[in-house]
Structure 1
């Protein structure tokens, strides 16, 4: 009798659990039918799985992955999870890919290459346009994240394959490297001279600039050796109007825009290209920057600072007088008095005053 009672009790417990699971599944199924968080044909992310909804019944939801693997998830389990419906409220949704790139590659160059590779991939939507973000600085690579938009998640593997394939070929053509996980021992030694090609390029530009026409070849060489090469990314300000400045710049690569602030608005006044010099008035006279120069492309410039210029002028004091005359002539031109026209006595007096003023400034700035 006791054995019969014990068996009956165990059967009742098993039946209770089974009934509980069954009722829980039915109730969950009813909840899904009423709230309709997803429908047949939607793509869901459940946990780490991406899958298409194939069937919804009172007991379970049946899903199919991109690998044609079916997942039969009881409704009372699926309602306990965070469900991401990639097709709600519309099929258009964004996905992301992370790519590691060597540290020596300029970020804007990498971003442009990644963007072009993504736009050329099939199934990537043109609107909204893809975007590329610098995500993190890793141990051996800079990580970039590509955000792109697609319609059916059924093509996700194909899209990722197309983007990554395009990236490989794009990087090969532009000499951008995806690094291995390595450690590099870098020994820094002081460089006495700049690479010869860069040095020669800078020298040719400076010798063609009237401000430096009074310098000998050796003096120009000395000026370049005392300068430094600086990179600016697209959109960065190289100099800013109103800021203190004690250097000038030679644009070696890239393009930049010159703007001035008027009545609270920035007015573009000119453009700078390879070989152009700018910022010389602040270097030579100590005046604040009179305009803002912003990089329109990734730019590489040579910055000539006050100490290097002072060392050259101390060796060539005759240049101070020539520089004062050039600066005075530029000042007269900005006031609408071209230097090649005959000047009245009043204009000649003003020119002499400007020459004297600039001569005093030069001697004061460079402590000559």
Structure 2
């Protein structure tokens, strides 16, 4: 037993001598294996402490300060690198290493690394540039070198980008400095997507405008402001080329939104009978007479076999055309039935269709509710509505084709003063708040009529407190005209 104990002591003594024996000197300080291990452990602790402090700042302090995700990541990364550098410098000084004594060595080593590791140095400097200038941030949706995705992490050497397919791509930082970067999330995430569409020659451009605008407005991910636009791009070999412009605020969802819009456009085209043509070519036959003679020799058609019994065919005067429902009319035809728009040209109506859209309400459905904020202006294209006050339990009016409502809330900046409910199946032309100015500028007669109608509702305006003493000194019509001019510059 004593022999085993003695041997163990000898082993530990030899191991201790091995660990504590100085192997090299730096300056006036000698270093052994044990001191190097202790230095490495302390350096690891410095790194972990810096990482923990930066994570606490990112997830705690910066979140409470409501800093956006990209800025939080950049600030936390810079703090982590600074704390690590400061901690290592303090550690080296406490270990007795004279930093000035290794400055020359570090300089020579740096030159060697600079020539041998140019790309690594470039990525390092580029990473610092990205973290400080923040042209891109974590969470941004970007495009670089045909790579489309969301920035997941920015480190000193590289940036991780998650593509729309869910694949993480590691991109060297130098590519973000040397190449042109499209940052869809920079400052304002709103962006415009373009949907090219070709239709057959002979198709009514106004009908195409209505179909494309309707498809865009039905898609919930498309913004109403700015409103969708339709461009006539040109005349193709086999089609009239149009382009739908729709604004979204989720650029990372642009591809799914484009797919949804394409489905809706296909539905609208089928519903309206709009044809998307196939490419075609004209064939010219030089010897048409010889070809016709060849076909004539092949035989004649028996006309008697193609006769139809007279009893199966109604006389022309007995064939009455089936009346077309207003639901199947084009928006252009419905707008032409309204007094303010009946003299408009097709080009003016096309512009008007871009400002508003058609919406069908079944009978007994509430269009707008009393005390709700007003966001839209309505013109009745067919059907009728009733206006009543739920608060006063009072019937106000019945409005029919060609009349409008919803203007008071928009122009006066007040909640809805009454509830509007359809009496029958009703088609409304809806103009959102942001597009009403454009409609009133182009159609002065409608603006004048709105002012006239509002002036007839003085008591309602007084009850809402919208007619001030200064306003009462003027005639209501003059005051309302001035109000419209102030709001819309008309």
TM-score w.r.t. length of structure 2: 0.36
Q: Could you say which structure has the greater relative contact order, defined with CA pairs below 8 angstroms and 6 or more residues apart?
A: 1
Q: Give the structure with the larger helix fraction.
A: 2
TM-score (norm 1): 0.48
Q: Which has the higher strand share?
A: 1
